[in-house]
Amino acid sequence: MNSNLCNRCGSCVGLSDGAIVFEDKTGKYVPVQKRKINDDLADKLWQSCSGKEFNFPVYSKKIFRETPGFHRYTGAFQKIYIGYCTDEAIRRNSASGGIISSVLIWLLENKWIDGAVVLKMSETEPWMNEPFIATSKEEILISAQSKYTISSVNEILPEILRFKGNLAYVGLPGQVQSIRKLQEINDPSVINIKYIFGPFYGNTLHFSSVISFLRSYKIRDYHQVARLYFRYGEWPGYMRAEMKDGKIIQLPKFHANYLIPFHILKNSLLCTDLSNEFTDISGGDAWAPIYEERGKGFSMVISRSKTGQEIIDNMKSEGLLTLNEIELDQAIEMHSHGYDLKKRGTFIRMRFRQWLGKDNPDYGYSITGFSFTRYLMEFFIGALFLLLGTAPARFIVEKIPPAFIGNIFEKVRTFWKKSTHNIKRNQLT
């Protein structure tokens, strides 16, 4: 754990029959071995771990042999779209365009699947997220919207193994990569998974982000939370906490992003996969002024496998999705900030870690040839994250009204994006 390679995907916990558990989920959220495991199980756990290694080129060739398009930033793709689902209720209930929720509902209603592995906020501990198998439209809608705190979806592998029927699976890149590794060794825990989907991925936050958010509003006990949202309401939404006493606190999503440098899971900065490259279909917010100004939520959608494209084609023909195909360069430009962060920035951070003698994940490829100014920019970002992640910095920020610090953060973010525009986009495409 000292090397921060664990991405908390949950596979080791799900496969170990209680020998490994996550402890302190509201704290460090780390897997802890509770009893001895035999060599066969140890080998399987090692093979399923996506935190230490996942060979992008090898798995891309195995999974997407018949996929025509490829770029080292986007991964394999059939087509790339901008659009949204036509059901306004689903669209409003989702983080962006409601594509993944709509796809899951269509698969379920057309009997392609019998359930979907998704993430929801816990009913007994509503401040925490938990994976479950949704078997109805209503349950899929409960799982809609992003959850930005640490999740370990693959803890649910025993339930997947026992499930009778076909499943769709929704996960973050590290979770998806572990599922792909288990499929490669034909592990029985993933035989029921027929389709894999996932959102684009920027970062994950420790639960301390929720504690800090509440403290900023003078709420000291997170057990008083009745419901917690990270993207409440119409796009882009609000971070919102509804308390048991009826009090409601909320902050615009973009303003709540001030929590990121103070509470980011450091492993997030070692992930090179922005657009969830090993899914059948992935999707995320369409970051462009033309779409952001309209509100409601638009998604960039990437179909990768032949099956994923078949699903999209069927749904488009039925009028369930409004999608306009875009070119690769448009897609990279639209998410240039994210691709720079996850592809170029990650390999620079890994270079820094190598100089410090720390371990790095092995992705089977690397990207090099960055300018001195890009290295300098990454050094500055790293130093800032290191400083703001300290206890004194967190203590100070909790004394500042969230509306004020959120507004300042958004202005600084806008200034930073403009001032580093050329550095990030230099030779990006």
Per-residue pLDDT of 353-383, as tens digits, reads 999 999 999 999 999 989 899 999 999 999 9
* Confidence at residue 235, expressed as pLDDT on a 0 to 100 scale: 85
How is the chain split into domains, by residue range?
A: 56-429
The angle formed by the CA atoms of residues 114, 119 and 124, to the nearest 5 degrees, is 110
For residue 3, pLDDT beyond 90: no
The Cα 76–Cα 87 span in angstroms is 29
Residue 48 CB partners (closer than 8 Å, separation 6+): 11, 12, 15, 178, 181, 182, 185, 187
For residue 293, pLDDT beyond 90: no
What average pLDDT does range 241-264 have in this prediction?
96
* Confidence at residue 415, expressed as pLDDT on a 0 to 100 scale: 83
User: What mean pLDDT value characterizes the chain?
Assistant: 94
Question: Per the structure block, which two tokens stand in for 290?
Answer: 């033309």
Which amino acid, one-letter code, is at 145?
Q
pLDDT-derived band of residue 1, with 50, 70 and 90 as boundaries? very low
What average pLDDT does range 80-99 have in this prediction?
91
pLDDT-derived band of residue 292, with 50, 70 and 90 as boundaries? low
pLDDT digits (tens, 9 = 90+) for 149-188: 999 999 999 999 999 999 999 999 999 999 999 999 999 9
What average pLDDT does range 90-113 have in this prediction?
93
What average pLDDT does range 97-118 have in this prediction?
97
What average pLDDT does range 313-341 have in this prediction?
95
pLDDT-derived band of residue 424, with 50, 70 and 90 as boundaries? low
Residue written as token pair 């490994």: 20
Tell me the Ramachandran region of residue 321: left when phi exceeds 0, alpha when psi lies from -120 to 50, beta otherwise: beta
**How many beta carbons lie within 10 A of that of residue 417, not counting itself?**
12
For residue 19, pLDDT beyond 60: yes
For residue 51, pLDDT beyond 50: yes
Nearest in space to 195 (alpha carbons), one of 272, 100, 119: 100
* Confidence at residue 2, expressed as pLDDT on a 0 to 100 scale: 44
* Confidence at residue 367, expressed as pLDDT on a 0 to 100 scale: 93
* Confidence at residue 116, expressed as pLDDT on a 0 to 100 scale: 98
pLDDT-derived band of residue 236, with 50, 70 and 90 as boundaries? confident
The Cα 325–Cα 210 span in angstroms is 38
* Confidence at residue 428, expressed as pLDDT on a 0 to 100 scale: 66
What average pLDDT does range 8-23 have in this prediction?
96
For residue 291, pLDDT beyond 50: yes
Question: Per the structure block, which two tokens stand in for 204?
Answer: 């994950």
Share of the chain above pLDDT 70, in %: 96
The Cα 267–Cα 1 span in angstroms is 10
Question: What would the 3-class secondary structure string for 376-404 be?
Answer: HHHHHHHHHHHHHCCHHHHHHHCCCCHHH
For residue 295, pLDDT beyond 70: no
* Confidence at residue 95, expressed as pLDDT on a 0 to 100 scale: 77
Question: Which pTM value belongs to this model?
Answer: 0.95
The Cα 113–Cα 396 span in angstroms is 49
On whether the CB atoms of residues 301 and 80 are closer than 8 A, the answer is yes
Which amino acid, one-letter code, is at 8?
R
Question: Per the structure block, which two tokens stand in for 88?
Answer: 């306004």
What average pLDDT does range 186-204 have in this prediction?
97
* Confidence at residue 425, expressed as pLDDT on a 0 to 100 scale: 67
On whether the CB atoms of residues 29 and 8 are closer than 8 A, the answer is yes
* Confidence at residue 294, expressed as pLDDT on a 0 to 100 scale: 61
* Sequence-ordered alpha helix ranges (H) in 217-327: 253-256, 260-263, 289-292, 306-317
* Confidence at residue 185, expressed as pLDDT on a 0 to 100 scale: 96
For residue 287, pLDDT beyond 80: no
